[in-house]
Amino acid sequence: MGRKWEYGDFRQLGCDEKGASGMATKRLARQLGLIRRKSIAPANGNLGRSKSKQLFDYLIVIDFESTCWNDGKCHRSQEIIEFPAILLNTSTGEIESEFHAYVQPQEHPILSEFCMELTGIKQAQVDEGVPLKICLSQFCKWIQKIQQQKKIIFATRVSDISTSEVKLCAFVTWSDWDLGVCLEYECKRKQLLKPVFLNSWIDLRVTYKIFYRRKPKGLSGALQDVGIEFLGREHFGLDDSRNTALLAWKMIRDGCLMKITRSLNKVPTKRNPNIFTRNLNMDQVEEISACNSNIHDPSIYDISVDARL
């Protein structure tokens, strides 16, 4: 749990050791992050009426599709076969840009019948796709383009935002599987340099669970629970990403504050708790194109588990 709070900590917050009153105690507890306000969806459904001030001006939603099997065996070498990304404006709810690519698997180039039936992706589409190495380079160029157009930067950790001079952007996934497992371990196996800005993200599934105080039954079930019909085909990455963006926007309208839930970066020291940002430049694009460096192993997940469902 959290660290023990000393007398000096209470004094810094303007309280004595015992607290001035019950109200002051509750206020202190909220400041320390010990209790959360109960989130209640707007009853009248007016758009934006209860929309909270967001930390991030933009969200990029990602939902990979990968090779998969239904043969009862434990496969530890899933490869990305579809790489979509959706740029969502958190002020307007508009999708302002999209990236999409089919990726050619190298370790298991032939898709299983189960995989094609589940995702709707055909063998010819991945045969005509690009290797992950090239896909990452294309993705980085798309990121660089929207950075220049929207004037955004990526925050790898947010503790306090007190400036409006920059537009912050964060990645969103449905569970930690996409960035914490699938991409992380495929890049490690293939010795590809993963873009550093993909080391932090918002897990919308756990955010949904905390905010609405109920466990979602998959992405489609979560949408249904908030009155949104799933559009398109489930387990097709681009449609899943668009629907995840719809859900994120609904949650923002209901007052949910989007925050980073997972980071593979090292925890910053107490002396420097500010925002850590890293902007993409052409040197990074060239490094990604080279794709010839090892990455650190975070050792946080068993890759045999697909936690998206």
> Has residue 88 been placed in a domain?
yes
User: What pLDDT, on the 0 to 100 scale, is given for residue 265?
Assistant: 84
pLDDT at 101 over 80: yes
> Has residue 297 been placed in a domain?
no
Q: What is the largest CA-CA distance in the chain?
A: 69
> Has residue 200 been placed in a domain?
yes
Q: Confidence band (pLDDT; 50, 70, 90) for 191?
A: very high
What are the catalytic residues? 65, 235
- Tell me the C-alpha distance between 130 and 124, whole Å: 12
Q: 283-303 pLDDT, tens per residue?
A: 444 544 433 333 233 322 232
pLDDT at 7 over 70: no
pTM: 0.72
pLDDT at 125 over 80: yes
User: What pLDDT, on the 0 to 100 scale, is given for residue 51?
Assistant: 59
> Has residue 23 been placed in a domain?
no
> Has residue 18 been placed in a domain?
no
Which CATH number is 233's domain given? 3.30.420.10
* Percentage, residues of the chain above pLDDT 70: 65
CB 66 within 8 A of CB 81: yes
Which domain range does residue 81 map to?
58-263
Mean pLDDT score of the chain, rounded to an integer? 77
Q: 38-85 pLDDT, tens per residue?
A: 333 433 344 444 456 899 999 999 999 999 999 877 777 899 999 999
Query: Checking DSSP bridges between strand 80-89 and strand 95-102, what pairing results, if any?
Result: antiparallel
Mean pLDDT of 171-197: 96
Classify residue 167 by burial, with Cβ atoms within 10 Å: 0-12, 13-18, 19+: middle
> Has residue 300 been placed in a domain?
no
**Helices 204-212 & 218-225 angle (0-180, nearest 10):** 40
> Has residue 288 been placed in a domain?
no
pLDDT at 268 over 70: no
User: What pLDDT, on the 0 to 100 scale, is given for residue 24?
Assistant: 52
Mean pLDDT of 241-247: 98
- Tell me the C-alpha distance between 269 and 157, whole Å: 12
User: What pLDDT, on the 0 to 100 scale, is given for residue 269?
Assistant: 36
274 or 178, which is more confident: 178
The number of folded domains in the chain is 1
Judged by average pLDDT, the poorest of 82-91, 167-176, 258-267, 299-308 is 299-308
